[in-house]
Amino acid sequence: MTSFRLFSLRLIFVVFVLFVVFQLNVLPERKYYTHRGCTGPSRSSDVIDKIRIGTTNKVTYKDYLDRPSSDLTTFQEDWKVEATLFNKFPKEKRFLTLGIPTVRRVDNEYIMDTIESLVNNTRPEELKDIYIVVFLADFNETWIEDISRRLNESYPQLISSETLVVIRSWKSFYPSLENLNHTYNDNYNKRKWRSKQNVDYAFIFLYCQHLSTYYMQMEDDIYTIPNYLDVVKDYISEMRFQWTCLEFSELGFIGKLYHSYDLEKLAKMVLLFYEEQPCDFTYLYFNTLMLQFQRYIHRPTIFQHVGLKSSLPGKVQPLKDRFFDNLEKTYQGDNPPAKLYTNLLVQSQNTPESAYYQEPGYFWSHRNGKAGDWFTVVFDDPQRVGKIIVETGSREHPLDRIQHGKLQASLSLVKIDKSEPKCTNNIILGHFKDGLIKVSNLTSVVGPFKIHCISIILTANQDWWVIIKEIAVFLAD
Ligand SMILES: *[C@@H]1O[C@H](CO)[C@@H](O)[C@H](O)[C@H]1NC(C)=O
Ligand SMILES: *[C@@H]1O[C@H](CO)[C@@H](O)[C@H](O)[C@H]1NC(C)=O
Ligand SMILES: *[C@@H]1O[C@H](CO)[C@@H](O)[C@H](O)[C@H]1NC(C)=O
Ligand SMILES: *[C@@H]1O[C@H](CO)[C@@H](O)[C@H](O)[C@H]1NC(C)=O
Ligand SMILES: *[C@@H]1O[C@H](CO)[C@@H](O)[C@H](O)[C@H]1NC(C)=O
């Protein structure tokens, strides 16, 4: 034991002496090498020569960050004016810019429908609060002329009020799209498409950076819901802390909302890694570097992909956003004031109230339905009801309808015990068929009595979650 310790001490001492000798020899020279990395030792006169020659031929830190450059004035003075096809570069600062880069597709053009869906679903008075910037990011002049002519014909008012801004770029803005780094095992065409797309995105970010307070990117093949701007505004005002990116779609780079003041940084980062990363990965790293460590995705989402064909020729992408759905109420009952109760686990965004009140949305349980699960509407005051319609499941989730269930009306409420209403004098009104139940002529069933509770009760287990899309209650005259 002692001899081993002695040996260790000697060994440490020897190593220490060697280290000191090495430092004494090497340190004076190291001063010159600190900027040369691991190139290994070389004669000190070389180093002094290099210092004397100066740094004129060196790539500076700024060059490094700027290559490919985010300062497009080095390519073209006034590039924003040159890039704008109709009118001048817009000057007025608005609330939101929707940026849509688009390239020519071989079979289907979706861009006209995408713009139509955005315009259709914006209130006319809100069109002056937004810019829709369409970036024709293709080098095919014929196509650029064709699309810009069609936009000019379809939206003369929006173009003259500068809500619709159409822009283009030039090949000289793009860095080399040859010999691209081989990453993600993407083939050559995919790498080229991906890298060009990054530069397209950076271009539109830089163009839009001073147009508005917020910026949201779209793809050219999406559709949206009525008054999507309300959802965006509400989500922004719900945020009680600093955020970098809010998402209104799960997919790709659709419906990502940024503060416009972050766009230049984002453009630089996308450009810096234009060869290595597709933008729909880069933005997630960007968000983390901006200290947003989780994603804020608004559910239900409000933008859906239509394009089955990607803008990369031959690439089919049957991507659909799981959280996009038909949220509008179909039957629009009188629905008198009521409280809603259920024993089902509730998804935070899909409250029981969403099934009953008129705002877009629906109730969605967070687990499979079981026999005996209940969902009860308790009217604030008993009502004379003429007709009830309950629709379950949704367009995107048809299997989440109630497979086996019944509808029950109760004439009396005994009490509400720990969020569970006790209703009596029950009358079974009928059973669900294909997720739907309609009961008319209710007054002939209940006679002169008023109804206090309406309950939906599952009569068998089911393998799916439960969506109650709409409960429409029509009062008797
Ligand atoms: C936009 O609205 C018009 C008129 O209501 C309708 O004909 C058209 O289909 C709508 N387009 C889209 C893409 O929703
Ligand atoms: C350019 O676009 C036009 C119109 O979309 C198309 O007919 C033509 O073939 C395209 N040219 C090339 C070189 O792809
Ligand atoms: C756009 O359309 C208007 C007519 O609505 C026409 O006067 C104008 O020349 C068109 N602009 C371009 C650039 O085609
Ligand atoms: C990326 O490409 C450059 C230039 O072709 C090359 O020097 C570099 O080694 C490549 N990097 C990777 C990670 O492949
Ligand atoms: C409702 O009542 C009316 C007349 O009272 C009758 O004509 C009609 O068929 C009834 N509807 C249903 C669904 O029972």
Q: Hey, where are the domains in the chain?
A: 33-305, 338-475
For atom 7 of ligand 5, the residue with the nearest CA is: 441
Contact 70, 202 (CB under 8 A): yes
Calpha distance 399→51 (Å, rounded):
73
3-state secondary structure of 94: strand
Angle of helix 188-208 relative to helix 263-272, nearest 10 degrees, comes to: 160
DSSP string, 226-241: TTHHHHHHHHHHH--S
In order of 286, 334, 338, 387, the CA distances from 476 in angstroms are 57, 10, 17, 8
Question: From the CA of 143, how far away is ligand 2's center (Å)?
Answer: 6
Q: How far apart are the first and last CA of the chain?
A: 101
Taken as a whole, the chain contains a residue count of: 477
Question: From the CA of 408, how far away is ligand 5's center (Å)?
Answer: 20
Contact 445, 355 (CB under 8 A): no
CA 423 to chain centre: 43
Which residue type occupies 121? Answer: N
Helices H / strands E in the chain, number of each: 13, 18
Contacting residues for 298 by C-beta, under 8 A, at least 6 apart: 231, 235, 246, 247, 248, 349
Question: From the CA of 152, how far away is ligand 3's center (Å)?
Answer: 6
| Strand partners of residue 416 | 421
Burial of 79 (0-12, 13-18, 19+ CB in 10 A): buried
pLDDT attached to residue 276:
85
For atom 2 of ligand 1, the residue with the nearest CA is: 120
Find the residues whose C-beta lies inside 6 A of ligand 4: 179, 181
Helix or strand (DSSP H, E) at 469: strand 467-475
Contact 295, 257 (CB under 8 A): no
For atom 14 of ligand 4, the residue with the nearest CA is: 181
Quick check: pTM over 0.75? Answer: no
Determine the atom of ligand 4 nearest the C-alpha atom of 276. Answer: 13
pLDDT attached to residue 29:
40
- Is residue 440 lining ligand 5, measured as CB closer than 6 Å? yes
For atom 5 of ligand 2, the residue with the nearest CA is: 143
382 token code pair? 């008993």
216 token code pair? 């949201």
For atom 6 of ligand 4, the residue with the nearest CA is: 181
For the domain spanning 33-305, the CATH number is 3.90.550.10
- Torsion of Cα atoms, 168 then 84 then 244 then 120, to 10°: -90
Pocket test for ligand 2, best of 143, 144, 149 (most atoms within 8 A of CB): 143
Quick one: which of 165, 168, 194, 154 has its CA closest to 102?
Answer: 168
Show the DSSP H helices in 161-314 as ranges.
188-208, 228-238, 263-272, 279-289
Question: From the CA of 201, how far away is ligand 1's center (Å)?
Answer: 28
For atom 11 of ligand 2, the residue with the nearest CA is: 140
Calpha distance 407→176 (Å, rounded):
66
Task: Describe the chain by its helix, strand, coil percentages, rounded to 5.
Answer: 35, 25, 40
For the domain spanning 338-475, the CATH number is 2.60.120.260
For atom 1 of ligand 5, the residue with the nearest CA is: 441
For atom 14 of ligand 2, the residue with the nearest CA is: 140
Q: Which ligand is nearest to the CA of 155?
A: 3
pLDDT attached to residue 30:
39
pLDDT attached to residue 17:
57
For atom 12 of ligand 1, the residue with the nearest CA is: 117
Contacting residues for 415 by C-beta, under 8 A, at least 6 apart: 421, 422
Question: From the CA of 135, how far away is ligand 2's center (Å)?
Answer: 18
Contact 380, 477 (CB under 8 A): no
For atom 13 of ligand 2, the residue with the nearest CA is: 140
Contact 253, 219 (CB under 8 A): yes
pLDDT attached to residue 6:
61
Pocket test for ligand 4, best of 180, 181, 195 (most atoms within 8 A of CB): 181
Find the residues whose C-beta lies inside 6 A of ligand 3: 86, 149, 152, 156
* Residues 408-426 as b or e (16 or more Cβ within 10 Å = b): bbbbebeeeeeeebebeee
Question: From the CA of 195, how far away is ligand 2's center (Å)?
Answer: 22
Q: Which ligand is nearest to the CA of 159?
A: 3
Q: Which ligand is nearest to the CA of 86?
A: 3
Quick one: which of 256, 309, 301, 253 has its CA closest to 281?
Answer: 253
221 token code pair? 């093949």
Pocket test for ligand 1, best of 111, 115, 120 (most atoms within 8 A of CB): 120
pLDDT tens over the chain, length 477 residues:
455 566 666 766 665 555 554 454 444 443 333 333 334 444 555 555 545 554 444 445 555 555 666 777 766 778 888 889 987 889 899 999 999 999 998 777 889 999 999 999 999 999 999 999 999 999 899 999 999 999 999 999 999 999 999 999 888 778 778 777 777 667 778 888 888 999 999 999 999 999 999 999 998 888 888 889 999 999 999 999 999 999 998 778 899 999 999 999 999 999 888 888 889 889 999 999 999 988 898 877 788 777 544 555 544 444 555 556 777 889 999 999 999 999 999 877 789 999 999 888 899 998 899 999 999 999 999 999 999 999 999 887 888 999 999 999 999 999 998 899 999 999 999 999 999 999 999 988 888 889 999 999 999 999 889 999 999 999 997
Quick one: which of 426, 466, 422, 473 has its CA closest to 449?
Answer: 426
Contact 405, 456 (CB under 8 A): yes
Contact 71, 269 (CB under 8 A): no
